Amino acid sequence: MRLEAKGLSVSIRDRSLVSDASLHIAGGELVGLIGPNGAGKSTLLRALLGIREKSAGDIQLDGQDFLAMSGRERASAVAFLPQERRVEWRLPAYDIVMLGRYPHQVGFGGPTPEDRAAVERALDAVDGHSLRDRPVAVLSGGERTRILLARALAVESPILLVDEPIAALDPYHQLHVMEILRERARDGAGVLAVIHHLALAERFMDRLILMDASRIVAEGAPIEVLTAERLAAVYRIAGSPPQRIPAA
C-alpha cells in the first residue's frame, strides 16, 4: 500500500506551517522525517491524516482520495502515534491498547478473538505485558509511550505514522522501539517516523525526509541526506555527520 501527498500546504493566520510538501510512504520501507524544532514535521504528519485542515494539496491511498474515505476506513488503513502522550483516562493499559482495534470492530459485540490476539501481539512487541493491568495515567513517560505505541501497532494497519516514538525512553527501549518499527516495515507496512536522534535515523531508516522552515529540503538515503553541509545549514551546527551506531 502507498500513501502519497502532493503539494500539501498548511497555514494558520497567514503563517505557513507546511509549504508545498510532496512525499510518499510505501509498504516495506521505514522512512524518517527529520528536521529542527518548528520545521513542520508534526504538522505534516497530522495533515497527512486529515487532522490538520490543509489549505492546498492532495492525499491519496493507493490512488484513492484518502480524505474522502470514511473515518473507519482511514483509521484501519493508517495508524498514528501522536507526539502528545498525556492520557487522562484511568483505564488499564490493556484497555488502551484495545482501542487500537476499534476500526475493525462492528456493532456492539465487543472484542473478537482476533482483536485480543492483535492486542497480545502488540503488548509483546513493546515488552508491555507487565504493564497491562496498570492505569495508563500513573505510568511513567517512557512506559506510557510504549503502551500508546502498542495501541498503534494493534491496529495492524498497512501504514503507520509515529511522532517521536523514542521520546522519554531510555537507551535500551530507544533501540527496542526502532527495531519494532524496522520489523513492521520488514513485514510489509509503510512506516513514517518523526525522529530527532540522527544517529538512530542513520542506522535504521531506509530513507530520510529533511524539513526546514516548513519545507522539505532534502530526501534520500541517510548517507545522502545527513551531510556535513546540510547539518550546518539546517541544524546550524558544525561537524561531521552522525556516526553509525554498531548493530547489536
User: pLDDT digit string (tens) for 137-166?
Assistant: 899 999 999 999 999 999 999 999 999 999
Proportion of the chain above pLDDT 90, given as a percent:
82
Rounded to an integer, the average pLDDT of 174-182 is 96
Mean pLDDT (whole number) for 128-132: 96
Q: How sure is the predictor about 204, in pLDDT bands with cuts at 50, 70 and 90?
A: very high
Q: Which residue has the cell 511522532?
A: 163
The mean predicted confidence, pLDDT, of the chain is 92
Q: Where are the alpha helices (DSSP H) in the chain?
A: 41-49, 71-77, 93-98, 113-125, 141-154, 171-186, 198-204, 222-225, 228-234
CA gap 133, 91 in Å, rounded: 9
Residue 239 is assigned to a structural domain of this protein: no
> Is there a contact between 191 and 29 (Cβ–Cβ < 8 Å)?
yes
Asked if the model's pLDDT at residue 215 lies above 90, the reply is yes
Q: Is 52's pLDDT higher than 80?
A: no
CA-wise closest residue to 159 among 70, 51, 48: 48
Res 54: pLDDT: 62
245 lies in some domain:
no
Q: Is residue 143 part of a domain?
A: yes
| Statement: residue 114 has pLDDT above 60 | yes
> Does residue 244 lie in a domain region?
no
What's the whole-number mean pLDDT along residues 71-76?
94
For the segment 232-236, the average pLDDT, to the nearest whole number, is 92
The percentage of the chain sitting over the pLDDT mark of 70, rounded to a whole number, equals 94
pLDDT of residue 248: 46
Over 60: is that where the pLDDT of 45 sits?
yes
Highest mean pLDDT pick, 11-20, 147-156, 164-173: 147-156
Number of compact structural domains in the chain: 1
Domain that holds residue 58: 2-234
In a domain, 241, yes or no: no
Residue 248 lies in a domain: no
Q: Tell me the sheet residues that pair with 215.
A: 212
**Residue 243 pLDDT:** 60
Q: Report the CATH number at residue 39.
A: 3.40.50.300
What local confidence, expressed as pLDDT, does residue 50 receive? 86
Q: Flag whether 242 is in a domain.
A: no
Query: By mean pLDDT, which of 75-89, 151-165, 172-186, 212-226 is the weakest?
Result: 75-89
214 within some domain: yes
The most confident of the ranges 21-30, 47-56, 238-247 is 21-30
How far, in Å, CA of 152 to CA of 65, rounded? 23
